[in-house]
Amino acid sequence: MWASQETILDHYYVRTVGNCYGVIVGNDHTPFYYIGYLKYCPSSSATYWKGGEVFYERLVKTYDPFQVHKHAALKEYIPFYDSQIPIIPVSIIRRIYDPVERARELLLKPADVLEAKASTLIQALQDCTGLTSGIGVTGSILPGIHNPDLSDIDIVIYGWRESLKVIECVRESDLFQPFTGGLMEDWSSRLSKMSGLPVETVRQLYRKYRRGLFSGTPYSIMFNTQHGGNVLLKPPFKTLGEIIISGMVEGGLDALSYPSEGTLENYKVLDSTVKPPYDVTEIMSFETLYTSILFEGGDVLVKGLLQCSERLEACRILVGGVEGKGFVKPVS
């Protein structure tokens, strides 16, 4: 099976040989494999996830780049990231699941109580934004192996215009409620352990346009450029060491896709294992916790890998890579 790297975008799902389900990561791939990982595979015992008569085991327990890398059986070196990246070969894919097509299905004929609630959420976004396209549903609902009583609703928005409309809608609508009380405590404590940041800092990074409650059910919303390309044609980078800077992020739409990108307006190097050979122009983050601060912009303290490209004559700071977590902290 051959497919163009532009035909699959971030948070599409695929079914592979062996009846496993994989998640596509990002928009940039190759004609021969997609960046992504297997998340669910058939289980010999009963689990929360079921499709037809088959139960599924979740291989990756948390949405963490380190866990994804640890459990990925297949990896390829990609010069643009200067790292071994989890992949799904095109040759083992048997079916592709499009989040937008699945959302249309839910609007027409939801099959259970969770699908009905997801349908209502999608309709609420359409009514609020005036959008008739670009809204998709992902997560376990996408391939139909969700648990109607326990699964969350995962939404993905494709397109810049669509993303901005949804962000404005969710910010202002009372239908979308923020985490409070125990839910906020659980979420911030878990992200604090994963990121190494204080709980108070994690809470500063929370936005209800990324996650919250809809009619009592947790939701998450991801955003996407809707533009893909061949990742092997992108300029190569080399990791030179670690760096810590203070500076100002410009903010902008590039932060909404995965991995997030933020342009540095200005910065000061506080510590570095090697002197940057070129100007440090951007931050790239594989940790979605930092999406909001990179999108909204502002003063930040950043620690990550210093990666530089001779072709571009520029450097970036990579955060959330398996070689080093780093962080992006907002500075008041």
Over residues 53-80, the pLDDT tens digits come to: 999 999 987 767 778 888 888 999 999 9
pTM for this structure? Answer: 0.94
Q: For residues 34 and 78, what is the distance between their CA atoms, to the nearest angstrom?
A: 12
CB within 8 A of 97, min separation 6: which ones?
12, 13, 14, 15, 142, 143
- Share of residues in the chain with pLDDT > 90 (%): 90
Over residues 84-95, the pLDDT tens digits come to: 999 999 999 999
- Share of residues in the chain with pLDDT > 70 (%): 98
Give me the mean pLDDT over the 11-35 stretch: 96
Task: Reply yes or no on domain 236-330 having CATH 1.10.3480.
Answer: no
Task: Tally the residues of the chain.
Answer: 332
In the predicted model, what is the mean pLDDT of the chain?
Answer: 94
Give me the mean pLDDT over the 131-143 stretch: 96
How do the domains of the chain map onto residue ranges? 13-97, 99-224, 236-330
What is the H or E stretch that residue 127 is in? helix 113-129
Over residues 279-306, the pLDDT tens digits come to: 999 999 999 999 999 999 999 999 999 9
Over residues 147-205, the pLDDT tens digits come to: 999 999 999 999 999 999 999 999 999 999 999 999 999 999 999 999 999 999 999 99
pLDDT value of position 2: 39
CATH of 99-224 given 3.30.460, 3.30.70, 3.40.50, 3.90.820: 3.30.460
Q: For residues 284 and 97, what is the distance between their CA atoms, to the nearest angstrom?
A: 28
Q: For residues 193 and 199, what is the distance between their CA atoms, to the nearest angstrom?
A: 9
pLDDT value of position 200: 96
Q: For residues 295 and 111, what is the distance between their CA atoms, to the nearest angstrom?
A: 36
